[in-house]
Each structure stands twice: as C-alpha cells, then as structure tokens.
Amino acid sequence: MDVTPFIVLSAILFTIGCVGVLTRRNAIVVFMCVELMLNASNLALVTFSRANGNLEGQIAAFFVMVVAAAEVVVGLAIIMTIFRTRRSASVDDASLLKY
Amino acid sequence: MSNDFPWLSVLLFLPLVGAVAVMFLPKEGPLAKQVAFGVSLLTLALGIAIAIDYSPDGGTQFTENVEWIKSFGAHYALGVDGVGLTLVMLTVILAPVVILASWNDGDAGRWSPRAFFAWMLALEGLSIGVFAATDVFLFYVFFEATLIPVYFLVGGYGGPNRARAAVKFLLYSLAGGLIMLASVIGLYVESAKTDGGATYLVSELAKIDFGTDVGRWLFLGFFVAFAIKAPMFPVHTWLPDTTENATPGTSVLLVSVLDKIGTFGMIRFCLELFPEASRWATPVVVVLAVISIVYGALMAIGSDNIPRLIAYTSVSHFGFIVLGIFVMNSQGLSGANLYMFNHGLSTAALFLVTGFLISRRGSALISDFGGVEKVAPVLAGFFLVAGLSSLSLPGLSPFVSEFLVIVGAFVHSKVAAAFAVSGIVLAAIYILLMYQRTMTGPTREEVAGLPDLRPREVLALAPVLVLVVVLGFFPKPLLSIINPSVDHTLSKVDKHDPAPTVAESTPEGAHE
Amino acid sequence: MSLTPLHDAAAVPAVHPTDAGSLGVLLLLVIGLPALGAAVLLLGGRRTDKWGHLLGCATVIGSLVLSLVLFFDLLGKDAGERQLTQDTWTWFTAGSYKVTFDLLYDPLSAVFLLLITGVGSLIHVYSVGYMAHDERRRRFFGYLNLFVAAMLVLVLAGDYVGVFLGWEGVGLASYLLIGFWQHKPSAAAAAKKAFVINRVGDIGLSLGAALIFVTFGSTSFTVVSAASEHAGDGVLTAIGLLLLLAACGKSAQFPLQTWLLDAMEGPTPVSALIHAATMVTAGVYLIVRSNFIFSLTEDARTAVIVVGCITLLMGAIIGCAKDDIKKALAGSTMSQIGYMVLAAGLGPAGYAFAIFHLLTHGAFKANMFLGAGSVMHGMDDDVNMRHYGALQKAMPLTFATFAVGYLAIIGVPPFAGFWSKDKIIESAFADNFVVGLCALVGAGVTAFYMSRLMLLTFFTKKRWEKGVHPHESPNVMTWPLIGLAVLSAAGGLLLVNDWIVDWLTPVVGEHAEEHLSVSPLVMSLIALLVVALGVLVAWVFVGQRDVPREAPVKVSFVTRAARAELYGDAFNEEVIVKPGWSGVRGLAVFDRGFVDGIVEGTAASFAGISSRFRLAQNGFVRSYALALLAGAAMVLLALLAVNFS
C-alpha cells in the first residue's frame, strides 16, 4: 500500500492547522486549528498502523482523541468564561499573563 | 560532669528549643522577651559550666560522635578544643547581652517582637553548632543554616533598606557557601579513595595527604568562603551595607560571632586540613590581610555613618586576625585566636553603645551629632571605653591580641608588620574623630534633650566592658586554653617558631 | 656557651635585680593608691563630688610618702644592691614569649618616683584651688590620679610591654585632660591631635618591642640588658631608631613636636604636670632606660643628638614669638627636653646629666606653669602676655616664685638650672663642637625669650583689659608655688660630690669622662656670658620699648615663621592631612564604584539580562506557539542532522 498520499494529506492538514494557530485571533478558530493538527497526526498514526500491520498506531490515535475530547471540554469552558467576562474571544486581548 | 553525657548537644539545642518555644508564646507582651532572655542566661550558665570542666591541654573534649548519613561518611560529631571553646563562650556571653540590649528593637519590625527573639536564639544555637562541629559536613550544614536567621533578622527588622541589605548578605554568603560546597564534595571524593573510605570527620581528614594540586584546589574553595565570611578585602562590601540596615543587636551577632566562623574556619579547615596549600598561599593571604587592615581603617575614617564605620573597623580588625593566622607562629596564632574573642567583645560594646545613641537621635550620621557628652556623660563614658578598646589601648583586652599579632607578623616578615602597624595610628584617628564629632564641642540643639543611658542599657553593656578591662590585665584564662590548641595547629602545619637571634649566647638571665 | 661580645665598648650594666621582699608591697601600693583613687572617682559618679578632690590629693600624697620610704631604703643599700624587683603576675604568654607585670625599682625609677609623686602632689593641691569653680572638678582629679598611676607604671615596669602600658596610659590621661573642657572644639581637636601623633610614636615602640623580641626572645629589661652586647650593630641601631621614634612622639621632639603647643588647651595644672614635668619627659626616660641598647650603637645615638639639637633650637625660636604665656612656656619645654634628649644621645657621658636636667626642669618648669596659671587666675583666664604688664606688685608671691623659676631656667648660679644645663653644654662641647654650639646658642635664646616673658608679664607698663583686677591667688595655690620654687632654687644640690652621677651608675654604667679642651670654669663663664647677652637683648628690645597691645602684623619672616611654630602644623596639614583626606574620599569612591561595583555590577548584569529575556513572555498565545514551532523545528533538524551525518 502506498502511504504517500495519506502522509501528504496529513502534512497539509497539519500545516493548515499550524498556520491557523499562528495567524488567527479568534479563540474558537485557534481552537479548531489545534483540533485540525491533532487530527492530522491521527491520520498519520492510523496510516502507519495500517502500513505496518499492527494496532499500536491506532491505539495511539485513540489516546489522542480522548485527550482532544478532554481538551475540548476544558478549553471551550475557558473560552466561554473569557468571552463572558471580556465580551471578546480574541486571544490577543487576553494577554495579561506576561512579564 | 560525666563525659558521656552529650553536654555540647544540650548547649546547642537549648537555644534552638527555646526559639521554638518562644514562637508559641503570646505575640504581644513582654513574656516572649523574658523567656528568650532566660533561655540565653541558662545557656550561658551551661556554657560556663562546660568551660570550667574543660581541662586546658586535653585537646578536643566533650566529643560526641553518631553516624548520620552513612553513604556520605557524614557524622553528627561535636567537640571543642581551646579555639572552639573560646568562640562558643563568646557566643553564649554575647547572646544575653544582645537580647537585653535589644529589648525594644523588635517592636517596629515587619514581624512580631517574639519572632525577633526566636530568631536570635536560633542564631545562637546554630553558631554554637558551627564552632562545635568536628565533621565537615555537619559544619557545612550549620554554616549555611546560620544564614537563615540572619536573613530574617536583617530583612525583618532594621533600617529602611533592610530588604535589599538582607538579600545582598544572603546572596554574597551563599555564593561563598557554594564554592565551599564544591570543596566539601571534593573532600568526599578524595577521602573515598583512601583505605579508610569516605569520611567527613575532621580527625580522619587531617590524616589524609591530598597531594599538592588537589589540596590547593580544595583549600581555595574553603578559603574563599571564609574570606567572604570574615570579611576580607576585596570581598567585604556586604558587611557595611548589612550593618547599616540591621539593628545593633543583629550587627553584634553578625560581626562579633558569625564573622568569626570565617577566621575559625581558616584555622580549623584551611591550616589543619591543607597545611601544604596554606603555606603555599601565605604570601598572597598576608598581603591581602595587610591591605584589609589599612583599607578598612581608611574607609572607616571616611565614613559618616556610624554602623558603616564600625563595619569597616571590623574589616581592619579581621585583617589583623587573618594576618595572625597565616604568619603561622605561636605569637601570631595565639594573638589571632585571642583577637577573635576580644574583637567580639569590643565591637559588641561599640555597636550597642552607638545603637543606643542612634536610637535616641533617630539618625546614624556622625554629622548629626555634637556635644552629646554634656547631656549624656555616662553614655559618652561607655562610648569612649568601647572606642578605646577598639583602638587597642593597653590595659584593655584587644591590646594583648593586637600586640601579639604584630609581634607574630614581625617574626614572619618585617615589612608586613611595618605596614600592619600603621593600623594603630589609623585606629586612633577613626575612633577619636568619631568621638570628637559626636561627643565633644558645643551641644547641638537636636541632641540637647537626649536622655542618658537607662539602667537596662547599663546592665547590658557593663559586663562586656568589665570583661574587656579584666582580660586586658589578665588574659590568662583564655590564653591557657588557646595556647595548647595553637601548638597543635602549628604541629599540623609543620611550622616552628624561629629561635631568637642572640638567645643562645645569653647563658644567664634568659630563663629567669 | 658564651660567644665573644660583638662590641668592645665597656660592658653595659645588666639589669639584675634582687627580690624586693617586704618593700614590694610598698611598690605595689605606690601605683595602687592613685589607681584606686582614679577608679573610685571615675566610677563613683556624682556621689563623690563633695570629697573627690580630697581623695585625689590624699592618694598621691600617700604615694609620695611611700616613694620617700622606698627611696631612703634604697639609699641605705650598697650601690650594687640597688635594683629590686617585685614579681606580680604573668600578663600573657604565647609560645616562648612571656610578658609579666613585674616591677623594677632601681635608682632611675627611684628619682622618677620622687619627681612624679612630689611634683604631682603639689600640683594636685594647687588644682584644688585652681579648679574650685569647675563643676566637674571631681572628674578632673580622677583623670589626674589616672595619669599619676599610669606614669608610675611607666617608670616601674620591668618590661618594654609594661612600659607600653604606662606609655599609652599617660597618653590616655593626657588626651582626657587636654580635652577636659571638651565643649570647646579647639580643646577636643587638640586632645585628638595629641593622641594621634603619640600613636605615630607608638609605632616605634610596638615595632621596637617586636624587634627586641625577635632578637632577644624576650622584652624584659633583665634579659635584654644581659644579651644586648651580643647583638649585631644593625639590629641595635634599628632598635635604637625605633625607640627614638617613640620618644619623639611622647616628648614632642622633631618631627612629632606639633601636638605640644596645642596641648596647652588643657587646664594649666595639666600643662604643668603632664606637659612640662613628667609625661613629656618619658621619651628621655625611655632612652636612658634603654642605655644597654644606645650605649652600643653610635649611629642611633647620633640620630638622638640630631633630634635633640633641632628640637632645642626650634622650641627656643617658637618660644620667642609666642604671646600666649602658656604657649611660650610650651615652646620652652620642647627646647629643654631637646637638651635632655641631646644629653641622653651623648651616651654614658650624658645619661646622668639628662636625668639631672629632667629633674631640675621638672621642678622649675612646673613652678613657672603654675605661676602662669596663678597669673591667668588673676587676669580672668586671659593668656595673652600683651594684656599683662606690671604684675609684680599685684601678685608679689607669684612674681617671687616665678622669678626663681626664671633664674633657674636661664641658668643663673646657684639656681638648679645652671648646674644641670651647664653640664649638658660642657658634655656637648666635649662630644662635638657643632653640637656644643647648638646647646650654647640655645641657652642664649632661652635667656632672651624667658626674659621677654618675665618683662611682658611682671614689668613694663600695665596693659590690662578693662575690668580686670589682678589679685594674688589663694593659699592653696601659692603654697605649692613656694614648694616648687624651693626645689627650683636648691635642685643643684643633687650635683654635690657628683651624687646624681654616682647614684645612677648602677643603671647607666660608669660615667665616661669628657675631654674638654678648655677648663669647665671657662666653659661656665662663656655660657653665663651668652645668657647675659640674651637677657640684655630682651631688656633692650622688650623692656625699653612700649609694648603694643596687639601683636604687630608687619614683622620679619623669622618672626612670622616662629609664630606659625616653624610651619610644623602647616607642613602636616599640606603634606599629610589634606592629601590624606583626598585619599580617603577617593578610596570611598573606589570602594563603592569598583570593589562593590564589581559585585553589584555582576548582580545588575544578571538582572539586566533576565529583564531582556523576560520580554519574550509577552502574553500573546500566538508568539508562544511560534516559539513552540521553532523549537520543534530545531529538534527535528537536529534529529535529521544526527541521522544523516
């Protein structure tokens, strides 16, 4: 099986997510981009799992999903709280934790 | 006293337990002070009992030895020889004096007065530990632990820049301590190579020949730490900053007791563990000591701030002590050991009496005083006697030690002695200039209403000055326990006093 | 066991005392009484105000009685047995070095004991009247007692370090008494100056003692005197010069002379006792006591002579120009001590005469200082002689006693000073013509300035301030004057049959005969002629003219220099004090800026670097992410590099 297309797709998705995290201000979008990166790595893991014929990569992918799910729960809650108090979901506005 | 009973441990832990107990007493009210004073008196009584029981030429006594951390070869080992006992005595004598003199100094601090006295007791206990430890690892632990109480005493109570001064003191001392830690680890590594296995016991380490290179590196690690502690030029600058901002009582414990750890360590660890390296370093150390003497004195002359001035005089005096240690002859070493005790007394008196003066006027600047003698003659009298002891007037105890150091330095090198002796002129200038500018002349308006010394203050100072006078004429009690230890140290460094130039040609008279 | 002595000179007498036995207690008491007096008066506080002065006098008079008992006991012994020692206790030991407080009582100490307690007693009594109106009189007597005790320690100690104890003790007493009226800034400054300059001299004593220990293994007179002839020339000269430095400080000899004139800030009895009769002569005592060193070193003796000559001329010149009666007398003291130092420097030929002059000077100079005090007492504490004049009627007793002192100091026979000074001039000429000439010229100048002082004070016209009513002082002050006048007149009796010379022989060795080319009688006549010339000059230039109440401003360079004390102070100020202060200030900058600067700089640079790094923590999540990415990329690149290299 040729893994190249899957890997390329994974790389593209990861890059998109990465650029999104670096350039976007809206917390929700940044958050989505993080998810995109996680899924890109999941795709790579599953691909290699398939190519190698064992399940270890898939197990790792499950772990990533579980972590992502937990992250969504906590992360969204934080974003909601920030939005409520500051009336804005821009990550640049929440820069009090500096110096 | 039974020799099996751990008297030194009791002496060491009595103030420490007292410190904890004081923290459980009510925050306000005089009870905490009274208990702290009582504990320090009890410690003094025990210290005197130990000193009486000590037999002068019996080497290290009251030894205790319990294995502590086996894998390091570290022991909880205590014991005192003449030098250690002298300094333990200095500590237990000064603690009640300082507590009595600082009765109200803890009231305006950042924390409660009871904490002030608890820290003082803790400092007393830890200092005793430093002087009594006969295990390098234990010594190191106590050495670093003393920094904690001083940090809180300086940082919590005292002048406006106390926080900065406390940090400077802590970092400076820690830097020295870390350099010493490297040498302490080195001792472990080196001793592990010998047949006896890793050990930190001084008695065992003294038997090891470390070899030239290793010995010198280890020596340097210890010496730098002790030079900072002492303090010697050019690593002295933390002291004036600290005393300027500390309460007088803290300054006394710091300069009179804690700084002695530096010179004590030079004898106990530098000379006795690394004799070859000590002889190697002698020329440089002697030069640095002489510079300290002159430099400290000149800086004292130029100081307008009284605690800073006293700090610089101590730099000068420590120069004498280090000079006496490193000339490595009986006169120099006996003088240096005696000097440690006498300097403790005279500087304590000077810090305390000027502390009383400063707290009355609310200013530490010499230029803010004038004509105080007229309104407070008793204070002026105490000030003058303390000052005269600091300039080593014959008849007061520091003279004997300073004279012996000068003689010892002269035996070692005439040039060094000639430079060092200029310290006696400079000492007269800094003390009498300070006295002239604060006490004499027309009474200034601002000091016109100053009250004279109160009974409590007289009670705190008088014992110190009485001791200064008595030991000035009769220093034998101290010298009789110091001299055997000096002989021991000299045999360790393999140095012998040179014979007098013409002694062999005087058949009669020489031994009368 | 014994080496041949390195020196051919006649063996110096060894200090070889026998145990004092029962007399030892008296020796201890001689010191103990005034010491006890000082302790009671200084520690007792105001409780002792009422009877303090009486106790002060009693202790010193007690000491005088004991000194007399001791002296007559010594007189009854054979010359060879006149060295006694009293063991006390060991002061300190270190290695082989042992210093004890043992006392040494010999003919030299004996005459000093009489001088100190005798003159001391008279001055104590005088002070009762002089200080009657001072509210701190009790303290004054405490200090005086302290001084007497310390001075007695100085002359009784049997060890150089013991001498040092007394040496600094009298220095302390002098400091306290010069600054007794310390509310006056000038007094406080003078006191400090005296102490500090004395400390410069103490360098000599400290190092001298150290060198003596290194050489002889001990600093006790017994050991050193027994071994000194085995020591090398260089060492002996070095010891001699160091001791000379000490003597210069204490005895106000050139170049450490500047403190003495300022010391006149103290009350007049202090000037009489400490700065004329006793303490300032301690330097002479030290040199004579160390005869076992000085007799063996020609070079050090030459230095002593040079110092003596310079000072005796300097002091005399200063004395000529001062209008302050006490300062004129102080210049004279400098000059007279110069004579003693000169005599001591002559070695075995001069030791006895140095001590002889010291004793007579102690009497007549104390007499004149107390006389000056009596005059000041009557003149409302004015010290300016230009405001005196014609006081011989107002104060007949003071005038009479002062006149005896005057005749003694200028050397008119049969008064004491004639005998003692004449002997010094003779010995000086025997040693070296130039030295003799200095001594002779000094005698002439002495006659001039003392006559000037006499004329300005007791003769010429009244130049009193308004409202001043000179009166004779009370009996308690005049009786001591009479006592001292008697001593000044009769002091020459000590020379009958060369008694003083024989008396001191056990201490300083056989008196060396001088070889004078002219007979002593001719010499005395020449000296008298010079003195007469000095008096005549004074009579012409002072006695015959109107004395202006203000010192003339337009005067010759010499007068200006003499008024400025030959620029000794100006020299110290310009060469030592001012550069010293700049140096100290510079050092303070160096300490703050460089020594501490390195430490603070290290700390500050760490703080600076971290505050830069801190800026990276800017709070923007995106920049953190970028840093994360960069980090990950670097790790990746590093891995690639490792794997493909």
C629 vs A95: CB contact, 8 Å cut-off? Answer: no
In the predicted structure, residue B511 carries a pLDDT above the cut 50 = no
Task: Report the candidate in C312, C302, C303, C358 with the shortest Cα–Cα distance to residue C339.
Answer: C312
Find tokens 């063991």 and name the residue.
C87
Minimum Cα–Cα distance from A23: chain C residue: C622
In the predicted structure, residue C470 carries a pLDDT above the cut 50 = yes
Spell out which residues of chain C touch residue A95, defining contact as CB-CB under 8 Å.
618-620
pLDDT (tens digit, 9 = 90+) per residue, C189-226?
Answer: 999 999 999 999 999 999 999 999 999 989 999 999 88
pLDDT (tens digit, 9 = 90+) per residue, C237-291?
Answer: 999 999 999 999 999 998 898 899 999 988 999 999 999 889 999 999 999 999 9
Query: CB atoms < 10 A from the CB of B207, how many?
Result: 11
Task: Give the pLDDT band of residue B5 (cuts 50, 70, 90).
Answer: confident
Minimum Cα–Cα distance from B416: chain C residue: C207
Contacting partners of chain A (3+ CB pairs under 8 A): C
> What is the arithmetic mean of pLDDT over C603-615?
91
In the three-class reduction of DSSP (H, G, I as helix; E, B as strand; rest coil), residue C257 is classed as: coil
Q: Tell me, what's the pLDDT at C4? A: 44
Q: Whole-model pTM? A: 0.90
C629 vs A96: CB contact, 8 Å cut-off? Answer: no
Q: Tell me, what's the pLDDT at B42? A: 95
In the predicted structure, residue C1 carries a pLDDT above the cut 50 = no
In the predicted structure, residue B255 carries a pLDDT above the cut 60 = yes
Distance, in angstroms, between C611 CA and closest chain A CA? 9
pLDDT (tens digit, 9 = 90+) per residue, B314-350?
Answer: 999 999 999 999 999 999 999 999 999 999 999 999 9
Q: Tell me, what's the pLDDT at B309? A: 94
Minimum Cα–Cα distance from B432: chain C residue: C192
Task: Report the candidate in C281, C167, C294, C283 with the shortest Cα–Cα distance to residue C225.
Answer: C294
Please state whether the peptide bond connecting residue B231 to the residue before it is cis, i.e. omega within 30 degrees of 0.
yes
Q: Where are the domains of chain B?
A: 281-494
Amino acid sitting at position C27: L
Task: Give the pLDDT band of residue B512 (cuts 50, 70, 90).
Answer: very low
Spell out which residues of chain C touch residue B390, defining contact as CB-CB under 8 Å.
none
A22 vs C620: CB contact, 8 Å cut-off? Answer: no
Distance, in angstroms, between A66 CA and closest chain C CA? 22
Q: Which residues contact B421 (CB under 8 A, 6 or more apart)?
A: B406, C203, C206, C207
In the predicted structure, residue B397 carries a pLDDT above the cut 60 = yes
| Contact predicate C30/C70, CB 8 Å | yes
Q: Where are the alpha helices (DSSP H) in C290-432?
A: 291-294, 298-321, 325-345, 351-378, 396-410, 416-431
Q: Tell me, what's the pLDDT at C140? A: 93
Residue C182 CA to residue C194 CA, distance in Å, equals 14
pLDDT (tens digit, 9 = 90+) per residue, C217-243?
Answer: 899 999 998 888 888 889 999 999 999
> What is the arithmetic mean of pLDDT over A66-70?
94
Average pLDDT, chain B: 90
C95 touches chain A (CB under 8 A): no
Q: What distances in angstroms separate CA B143 from CA B12, B74, B147, C81, one per listed residue? A: 14, 15, 7, 61
Minimum Cα–Cα distance from C169: chain B residue: B394
In the predicted structure, residue B506 carries a pLDDT above the cut 60 = no
- ipTM entry: 0.92
Burial of C43 (0-12, 13-18, 19+ CB in 10 A): exposed
CA dihedral B421, B423, B428, B432 (to 10 degrees): 180
Average pLDDT, chain C: 89
B301 vs C230: CB contact, 8 Å cut-off? Answer: no
A30 touches chain C (CB under 8 A): yes
In the predicted structure, residue C178 carries a pLDDT above the cut 90 = yes
Query: CB atoms < 10 A from the CB of C561, how many?
Result: 15
Phi, psi of C473 (to 5 degrees): -75, 165
B377-390 vs B330-361: helix crossing angle, rounded to 10:
150
In the predicted structure, residue C87 carries a pLDDT above the cut 90 = no
- Cα torsion angle, B104, B105, B110, B113, sign: negative
> What is the arithmetic mean of pLDDT over B26-52?
91
Burial of B499 (0-12, 13-18, 19+ CB in 10 A): exposed
Q: List own/partner pairs for B298-303 with CB under 8 A and 24 or more apart.
A: B298/B426, B298/C583, B298/C584, B298/C587, B299/B240, B299/C584, B299/C587, B299/C588, B299/C591, B300/B426, B300/B430, B301/B426, B301/B429, B301/B430, B301/B433, B301/C584, B302/C584, B302/C585, B302/C587, B302/C588, B303/B240, B303/B366, B303/B430, B303/C588
In the predicted structure, residue C318 carries a pLDDT above the cut 70 = yes
Question: Integer distance in angstroms from the first to the last C-alpha of chain A?
Answer: 51
Distance of CA C479 to the CA centre of its chain: 27
Task: Give the pLDDT band of residue C141 (cuts 50, 70, 90).
Answer: very high
Task: Give the pLDDT band of residue C551 (cuts 50, 70, 90).
Answer: confident
C622 vs A22: CB contact, 8 Å cut-off? Answer: yes
Residue B365 CA to residue B308 CA, distance in Å, equals 10
Spell out which residues of chain C touch residue B438, defining contact as CB-CB under 8 Å.
none
* B130 against C474, higher pLDDT: B130
| Contact predicate C341/C307, CB 8 Å | yes
> What is the arithmetic mean of pLDDT over A5-15?
94
For strands C90-94 and C97-100, give the pairing. Answer: antiparallel
In the predicted structure, residue C161 carries a pLDDT above the cut 60 = yes
Please state whether the peptide bond connecting residue C414 to the residue before it is cis, i.e. omega within 30 degrees of 0.
yes
B486 touches chain C (CB under 8 A): yes
Distance, in angstroms, between C413 CA and closest chain B CA? 43
CA dihedral C282, C288, C293, C299 (to 10 degrees): 90
Residue B123 CA to residue B153 CA, distance in Å, equals 10
Distance, in angstroms, between A13 CA and closest chain C CA? 16
A34 touches chain C (CB under 8 A): no
Phi, psi of C384 (to 5 degrees): -80, 115
Minimum Cα–Cα distance from C614: chain A residue: A99
Q: Tell me, what's the pLDDT at C473? A: 86
Q: Tell me, what's the pLDDT at C44? A: 86
B505 vs C172: CB contact, 8 Å cut-off? Answer: no
In the predicted structure, residue C522 carries a pLDDT above the cut 90 = no
Q: Which two tokens stand for residue C265?
A: 């800030």
Q: Tell me, what's the pLDDT at B4? A: 74
Chain B window 426-455: which residues touch C at a Cβ cutoff of 8 Å?
Answer: 428-429, 432-433, 435-436, 439-443
Task: Give the pLDDT band of residue A8 (cuts 50, 70, 90).
Answer: very high
pLDDT (tens digit, 9 = 90+) per residue, B366-395?
Answer: 999 988 988 999 999 999 999 999 999 999
Q: Tell me, what's the pLDDT at B322? A: 95
pLDDT (tens digit, 9 = 90+) per residue, B452-505?
Answer: 999 999 999 999 999 999 999 999 999 999 999 999 899 888 888 888 877 554
> What is the arithmetic mean of pLDDT over A68-80?
92
Residue B392 CA to residue C374 CA, distance in Å, equals 38
| Contact predicate C519/C433, CB 8 Å | no
Spell out which residues of chain B touch residue C159, defining contact as CB-CB under 8 Å.
none
Closest Cβ–Cβ partner in C614, C619, C626 for A96: C619
DSSP one-letter code for C258? T
Task: Give the pLDDT band of residue B403 (cuts 50, 70, 90).
Answer: very high
C172 vs B475: CB contact, 8 Å cut-off? Answer: no
In the predicted structure, residue B2 carries a pLDDT above the cut 60 = no
Helix then strand count (H, E) for chain C reads: 26, 5
Q: Where are the alpha helices (DSSP H) in B193-268?
A: 202-205, 212-229, 238-245, 248-251, 260-265
A1 touches chain C (CB under 8 A): no
Q: Tell me, what's the pLDDT at C11? A: 64
Residue B430 CA to residue C229 CA, distance in Å, equals 41
Contacting partners of chain C (3+ CB pairs under 8 A): A, B
Q: Tell me, what's the pLDDT at B3? A: 61
Q: Tell me, what's the pLDDT at C3? A: 43
Minimum Cα–Cα distance from B302: chain C residue: C584
Q: Which two tokens stand for residue B296?
A: 């400290």
Average pLDDT, chain A: 90
Judging contact as 3 or more Cβ pairs under 8 Å, the answer for C and A is yes
Strand partners, C157: C103
How many C-alpha atoms does C70 have within 13 Å on its Cβ side?
A: 36
| Contact predicate C332/C366, CB 8 Å | no
Chain C window 521-580: which residues touch B at a Cβ cutoff of 8 Å?
Answer: none
For the sheet containing C103-105, what is the strand order?
C18-19, C84-86, C103-105
Q: Tell me, what's the pLDDT at B503? A: 54
Residue C440 CA to residue C316 CA, distance in Å, equals 12
Q: Which helix (H) or strand (E) holds C526?
A: helix C520-538
pLDDT more than 70, % of chain C: 98
